[in-house]
Amino acid sequence: MAEEMFQKDETLRMRKRLIGQSCRLFFSDDPVKIVRARGQYLYDENGVQYLDCISNVQHVGHCHPAVTQAAAAQMDLLNANTRFLHDNIVRYADRLAATLPKKLSVFYFVNSGAYHGHLSSLIDISPYKFRKLEGQKDWVHVAPLADTYRGLYRHDHPDPAQAYADTVKNLIDDMHSKGRKISSFFVESLPSVGGQIIFPRGYFTKVAEYVRAAGGVFVADEIQTGFGRVGSHYWAFQLQGEDFCPDIVTMGKPMGNGHPLACVVTTEEIAGAFTANGVEYFNTFGGNPVSCAIGLAVLDVIEKEDLRGNAVRVGNHLKDLLKQLQIKHPIIGDVRGAGLFVGFELVKDRVDLTPATEEAALLIRRMKEKYICLSTDGPWENVVKFKPPMCFRMEDAERVTEEIDLVLREIQDASLQK
């Protein structure tokens, strides 16, 4: 029998008392208490429905019955660690391998990806984290973000992919001049925290050429963008060209549709070097039968419900609607995205591109009052992002853009009255 639900105020008081304050809430000034969900919809304690535009982890939809049933069935049968031989882990690895370039063929399953790193070794290579803490270590080198909207080389550059790749080569040359070497190049296939950035095609190919020539490996982070979110491809790194292949790919978040499941896949050569160090790799929960059953169910739903096709159709419609708003509202400086990975950037002017951070925060608050969950990202928190469950529909895109239009009109009218 379910225990009696606390009143929202009591839940909030208990959370503040019992849960570490560095664990933050959405809409912290007035948090939403969510008690159930289905598809792309969330429901609060009063049964009010919210449209969810941000839960990319619930990839195939909140509480998808095929996923929950697979989890319950396997949990009722067996859950053990990977030191016992079991079919699920190899079936799952085989299914994943079929979506990847042949070179990527050895899998290491873990129970969760580390969000920008909770270990000092990972925080040290995450600008998002180290810039807020002790700063950049001398062995870490940050290449300019290949942002063609507000970066060093923009849409009007004749070859931004090459220009941005050359900035990486310059870093490598500088390190070599100081007697240092290169181990690896880490990059999100499409930066989300960086502001929903779409890299120029060909950038990865040139960067990989320079990194490998220097003895390093290319690591593509697909934790935000994998499993068909971009629609046209299963993995966002494939947007760079069919011939491009990273040396290592990390994947997580949407992989288990909310269940903690993540993975690293690499080549036989790199895996062999890892094995040769003589230390066993073991993860207590990674690759267990229940997690793999859930992962397999997610893959089945993606295929059976044509969620990649849906991402293309709905994502294109959403971008078209946002571009129509861009024509009406000068505050929308840029609209960009691939599939259901979409963002639009708010600026105070379209020449200097001054970030409209306060206006973006107001938009998010007003949308929440209209029962739509959105959030911002980017260095200045002025990029409104869409990473909804992949079952997001045409009518959802139309509803959210209609409401955005109304709120932006309110913001514009208020600014004119100042």
Is the model's pLDDT at 113 over the cut of 70? no
pLDDT at 2: 60
- Residue ranges of alpha helices (H) inside 196-306 are 203-213, 268-275, 289-304
Higher pLDDT, 295 or 118: 295
pLDDT at 71: 98
Task: Identify the band that residue 117 occupies on the pLDDT scale cut at 50, 70 and 90.
Answer: low
Q: How far apart are CA 187 and CA 218, in angstroms?
A: 8
pLDDT one-digit tens code per residue, 307-353: 999 999 999 999 999 999 999 999 999 999 999 999 999 999 999 99
How do beta strands 262-266 and 332-338 pair? unpaired
Q: Which domains does the chain have, with CATH numbers?
A: 8-63+306-417 (3.90.1150.10), 65-305 (3.40.640.10)
Mean pLDDT, rounded, of the chain: 95
Is the model's pLDDT at 116 over the cut of 70? no
- 270: number of Cβ within 10 Å: 15
The answer to whether the CB of 74 falls within 8 A of the CB of 289 is yes
pLDDT at 1: 40
pLDDT at 127: 85
Q: Among candidates 261, 352, 350, which has minimal Cα distance to 298?
A: 261
